Structure 1
Amino acid sequence: MKVSLLLTLSFFLPLAFSDDVEQVKDINGKPIFPGGTYYIMPAIMGPPGGGVRLGQTGNSECPLTVLQNYAEVDFGLQVKFKIPGISPGIIFTGTQLEIEFAEKPRCAESSKWSVFVDNEIQKACVGIGGPEGHPGQQTFSGTFHIEKHRLGYKLVFCMTGSPTCLDIGRFDANKGEGGRRLNLTEHEPFEVVFVDASNFDGIIKSVV
């Protein structure tokens, strides 16, 4: 699995980045900033579902896997973006980012996003925390990027110490998990928009 995953990531590196760099904005056209709280929502509202949250998968007794809600009215959990190291505090497309949920489950070591390989479904999924939260499963550390995609944006994961990157998509494991998993994909990326949680009034302005 490790070899095939690395080959897939390397193959898709040219697709992960764009030469057209621009400031990332929320659905109201305002720039997003590190430290702010946001909801990650699908760019097209309706049957595609709602925001992202944490859920229990496999034999885990702690919600460590990132899921997209089935219900479009559920905005999920708030996230924060962090730029590693020294930065001007401006998030552009292609900026290296760490993503974490604003609140951490008590049973988790960290709310920081990471990638782990679910041995049962043989897919690299987005979760939180490091190896301690995913015993017996391969984990990958790295950074996330936001790239422009169609009417919204897409999330891209890049592995630490490697030039390999891959888009973040959605996968329905059909295991009663209550949502679709976010996973590294070679197919359709998850097209998203960002909602400023500090100004949230319960109404989303559709981008379509």
Structure 2
Amino acid sequence: MKHLLSLTLSFFIFVFITNLSLATSNDVEQVLDINGNPIFPGGQYYILPALRGPGGGGVRLGRTGDLKCPVTVLQDRREVKNGLPVKFTIPGISPGIIFTGTPLEIEYTKKPSCAASTKWLIFVDNVIGKACIGIGGPENYPGVQTLKGKFNIQKHASGFGYNLGFCVTGSPTCLDIGRFDNDEAGRRLNLTEHEVYQVVFVDAATYEAEYIKSVV
């Protein structure tokens, strides 16, 4: 436990650089939603597991560990739940086209009042020894290290769906994002050297419109 509590940002960077595969590919293609439509900056999308079933549902926010605010990104354990929609932004570009590998900011469209920001970030949870995804700012993680960088989307190795990655600012290394089950309200999304989280994107507006039609 003392070892975990003494983990530092430099240690995590060293581990990831030496052990994680690069979350980049030489094959660049436009990112599509589940219906084959291009993903565009500013649109709202659900991030869902590529393989639906007992593996859980979409991603949402929850409170974990000693954090006072529900700022940790969790995959809902219930496969029928879509979670909260996110929007993707290409820094410095208003419209643009999102390709695999494009540096992105990811944020929720809503946030709890206690969160400093809706934008995704990486924070280092020393208790469990994982670098996890959350929202907000450093003030939401007192005494906890946060990593600066940009997210990206990569085609999954299977050819179906995608996986998310994270590139640390000032480092050439891009890291994969997977899931970690800490017996909480949902599975955390975290930087990983193991199995990546295979996902698809569902346009929230289209989904809501189709749902309304189905119940009218």
User: TM range, normalised to the smaller chain?
Assistant: over 0.9
8 Å CA contact 1:8–1:186 kept in 2: the answer is no
Amino acid at match of 1:133: N
Matched residue, 1:206: none
Match of 1:77 among 52, 71, 84: 84
TM-score, length-normalised on structure 2?
0.89
Q: CA deviation at 1:164?
A: 2.1
The amino acid that maps onto 1:76 is G
Aligned twin of 1:90: 97
Residue segments in structure 2 that go unaligned for 5+ positions in a row? 1-6
Q: Confirm or deny: 8 A CA contact 2:56 2:77 kept in the other structure.
A: yes
Distance in structure 2 (CA, Å) of the matches to 1:12 and 1:98: 25
Counterpart among 36, 51, 57 of residue 29 in structure 1? 36
Q: Tell me, which stretches of 5 or more residues in structure 1 are unaligned?
A: 204-208
Deviations 1:31-88 (A, max 9, x none): 0000000000000000111000000011222111000000110000010000001365
Partner of 1:173: 182
State the SS of the aligned residue for 1:86.
coil
Give the alignment partner of residue 165 of structure 2, picking from 156, 166, 169: 156
Secondary structure of 2:75 counterpart: strand
- Give the letter aligned to residue 115 of structure 1: I
Q: What is the TM-score with the length of structure 1 in the denominator?
A: 0.92
**How far did 1:134 drift?**
0.3
Deviations 1:150-204 (A, max 9, x none): 2110000111122122101000111xx310000000000000000000100349x
Q: Do 1:39 and 1:195's aligned partners in 2 also have CA atoms closer than 8 Å?
A: yes
**1:48 pairs with one of 16, 39, 55:** 55
Who wins on radius of gyration, i.e. which is larger? Answer: 2
Runs of 4+ in 1 over 4 A off after TM superposition: none
Question: Is 1:61 aligned to 2:68, yes or no?
Answer: yes
- Distance in 1 between residues matched to 2:94 and 2:206, nearest whole Å: 25
Identify the structure with the greater helix proportion. Answer: 2
Mapped to 2, the partners of 1:87 and 1:23 lie a distance apart of 17
Coordinate RMSD, CA, aligned: 1.6
Q: What SS is found at the alignment partner of 1:15?
A: coil
Overall identity of the aligned pairs, in %: 65
Q: Is the 8 A contact 2:41 2:95 kept in 1?
A: no
